[in-house]
Amino acid sequence: MKSSSIKRVCVYCGSSPGSQEAYTAAARELGKLLAENHIELVYGGASIGVMGAVANAVMENGGRVTGIIPHGLFQREVAHEGISSLLVVDSMHERKAIMAGMADALVTLPGGFGTLEELFEMVTWNQIGIHDKPIFLLNTMGFYNPLLKFIEHTVTQGFVRRGQESLMRTAENPTELIHLIKTATAGQETYQELRP
């Protein structure tokens, strides 16, 4: 099959802004770079936190944003009504399946439990062959260093096979991340029938 470039990324990140300005600043920088490089954004559809920051920056710089949000979270996460397209779905499972399904690659910025759950679902699904989409981490101010250290521990303790930890490719800043995205190959769903 012919390899193709990444045209649309799914971004997972916090519905909170984090305690330091650098988290939303890096998200805004990434959003700008995505728009400038004509890479579309798919995300969870909120207007708040790191999620809102990346979406606003893509829109402000002339890019395209699709948000996917479940009915139940519409109010709580303050659905973003200023993006190119907002899809309101019935459940979290539907939200996650559509977000991942639409994207050529998966990107995780700093965030909380929701972000970590989404990241590890995608890593697991890659590991068992549901998709082969590249997965990137934006390690703003070393936010993910403790997690990367713990993942190394899972390898040395024999729970993750050596080599599998590199399913996550880490960038230290948005410029480095865009370079990784632009030089990677778009992934695909590989075993659709394994999806819920």
Residues that bind ligand AMP (CB under 6 A): 14-16, 44, 46, 73, 77, 92, 96, 111-115, 117-118
Closer to ligand AMP by CB, 33 or 46: give it.
46
Beta bridge partners of 87: 68
Task: Tell the smallest beta-carbon distance from residue 14 to ligand AMP (Å).
Answer: 4
Our measurement of the distance from residue 54's CA atom to the centroid of its chain's CA atoms, rounded to an integer in Å, reads 11
Crossing angle of helices 21-36 and 49-60, rounded to 10°:
30
Specify the DSSP class assigned to residue 43: E
Closer to ligand AMP by CB, 46 or 57: give it.
46
Task: Tell me the chain's radius of gyration from C-alpha atoms.
Answer: 16
Q: How would you class 196 by CB atoms within 10 Å of its CB: exposed for 0-12, middle for 13-18, buried for 19 or more?
A: exposed
Closer to ligand AMP by CB, 88 or 155: give it.
88
Beta bridge partners of 70: 89
- What whole-number distance in Å separates Cα of residue 51 and Cα of residue 12? 8
Closer to ligand AMP by CB, 58 or 186: give it.
58
Nearest-10 Cα torsion for 185, 123, 177, 84: 80
Closer to ligand AMP by CB, 54 or 186: give it.
54
Task: Tell the smallest beta-carbon distance from residue 158 to ligand AMP (Å).
Answer: 28
Residue with the closest Cβ to ligand AMP? 114
Closer to ligand AMP by CB, 109 or 180: give it.
109
Task: Tell the smallest beta-carbon distance from residue 17 to ligand AMP (Å).
Answer: 10
Task: Tell the smallest beta-carbon distance from residue 185 to ligand AMP (Å).
Answer: 27
- What whole-number distance in Å separates Cα of residue 130 and Cα of residue 193? 8
Task: Tell the smallest beta-carbon distance from residue 155 to ligand AMP (Å).
Answer: 25
Task: Tell the smallest beta-carbon distance from residue 77 to ligand AMP (Å).
Answer: 6
- Say if CB 101 and CB 95 are below 8 A apart: no
